[in-house]
Structure 1
């Protein structure tokens, strides 16, 4: 497994691409309200990304038709923006990718539309808190499997389960690079596999289900749900390992 170690000039470019991701996610969250359509939010995000000298890297990636993955309620990830109009009480996940000067950015948030239920607040908080817990505990020399195990334990401790079959990943000159970083321990031994090193850049993205972590792709070939049919949530940051710790790149 070849995991790239980025030099300082590369980190500068990766930070620039990811800062646009962070700003785009903030823009989308600010405009998430009852009455707006998913296509309107997608168009707003694409216009902003291009205004910053970047391109929306998800558009056309593996055949995805839009700039932003917008996932509503039971759709946890990879939702295709439609004419659906957001309603009070919905929850919506935004996953944004950018490319600028040959380097990629990636990040995601889940937000409520208007007033949401306490259950949905807890669901979204699990995704966000497990992400920041993971970022906080990362140390140079830690194994990626150890990180996955810690994320899983955190999610289970909140009474939820991680979505299976999808994972975090390396990022750099391609939107998806080595390694794969599941939100659960894959295999029996967390003390196996590659170690985290200075210069590595990767995405951590907890995807949260209520009861069943088994994933199902809907008939459009993109929308991913849990087999429990319940709502899900998703958060993601791109981080760089600098001086032995994880530094968030995907913030404005």
Structure 2
């Protein structure tokens, strides 16, 4: 069931989004060779608590951490760990913030030290895919318009779009309807309407889009060991167009 949010609810989700964006901005300086993703996870957890918020994913279906930290060939839901990040790695930090009951969700891929040209291009293409998808998130369009635009852009640059994981509605719960596929057909899918709040979060691989699941039951990685990246924003559908609730630009 799709839930529609009032202006007041969107304002509260925007406040949660601003806090999450502030956290991601701080991570730009903290993610470097020698740092562990467990240390990053602890920082995020403590930052949110200090600002009167919490990580909504911590404890969600038994998930034990405040963040997902996915390194290199890990597509999503990577467990933070004590292994140090190395020069040339890429790491995606994903977190859902709960601020006084209002949720916001954002993932961001970061370079660790000096990365390869191939890795840099992957990050650039994935981030661009996010924003061209957001441009389609307007009332009257359909979810397929978002997916088609992202797929066409990504595959046109010889990358693949992960199909096993999707964006989603968000509100009182982390995952609500509708699902937001990052591939698809123009004019198909659920029609977007004012008051909907969704995440757009393309996961893009250098190789094939197929994934496999680790024994922990959470972490998905590429089947061919190639790099994967992800960027995600929480978006409100408004009469004035898409409103990015987790924007790092303000």
Shorter-chain TM range is over 0.9
Matched, 1:172 2:159: no
Structure 1 stretches of 4+ moved >4 Å: none
Distance (Å, rounded) in 2 between the aligned partners of 1:167 and 1:100: 24
Once the two structures are superposed, residues 191-229 of structure 1 have per-residue CA deviations (whole angstroms, 9 ceiling, x without a partner) of 233211111110000101122111111122221111121
Distance (Å, rounded) in 2 between the aligned partners of 1:48 and 1:93: 18
Aligned to 1:250: 246
CA-CA distance at 1:138 after TM superposition: 2.7
2:198 aligned residue (198, 202, 205)? 202
Aligned to 2:31: 32
CA-CA distance at 1:232 after TM superposition: 0.4
Q: How does 1:65-76 map to 2 (within 5 A)?
A: 65-76=64-75
Kept in 2, the 8 Å contact 1:68–1:81? The answer is: yes
Aligned to 1:147: 146
Distance (Å, rounded) in 1 between the aligned partners of 2:29 and 2:59: 26
CA-CA distance at 1:129 after TM superposition: 0.5
CA-CA distance at 1:136 after TM superposition: 2.1
CA-CA distance at 1:30 after TM superposition: 1.6
Distance (Å, rounded) in 1 between the aligned partners of 2:213 and 2:138: 35
Q: How does 1:58-137 map to 2 (within 5 A)?
A: 58-137=57-136
Aligned to 1:156: 155
CA-CA distance at 1:247 after TM superposition: 1.0
Q: What is the aligned-residue RMSD (CA, Å)?
A: 1.2
Instruction: Name the SS for the 1:251 alignment partner.
Output: coil
Question: Which residues of structure 1 form unaligned runs of 5+?
Answer: none
- Greater displacement, 189-198 / 161-170: 189-198
Kept in 1, the 8 Å contact 2:235–2:245? The answer is: yes
- Greater displacement, 95-104 / 64-73: 95-104
Matched, 1:216 2:212: yes
CA-CA distance at 1:190 after TM superposition: 3.5
CA-CA distance at 1:184 after TM superposition: 1.0
Matched, 1:237 2:233: yes
TM-score by structure 2 length?
Answer: 0.96
Instruction: Name the SS for the 1:239 alignment partner.
Output: strand
Kept in 1, the 8 Å contact 2:133–2:146? The answer is: yes
Kept in 2, the 8 Å contact 1:163–1:226? The answer is: no
- Greater displacement, 196-205 / 212-221: 212-221
Instruction: Name the SS for the 1:250 alignment partner.
Output: coil
> How many aligned residue pairs are there?
248
Kept in 1, the 8 Å contact 2:138–2:238? The answer is: no
TM-score by structure 1 length?
Answer: 0.95
Once the two structures are superposed, residues 47-66 of structure 1 have per-residue CA deviations (whole angstroms, 9 ceiling, x without a partner) of 00111111111101111110
Question: Which residues of structure 2 form unaligned runs of 5+?
Answer: none
Kept in 1, the 8 Å contact 2:106–2:234? The answer is: yes
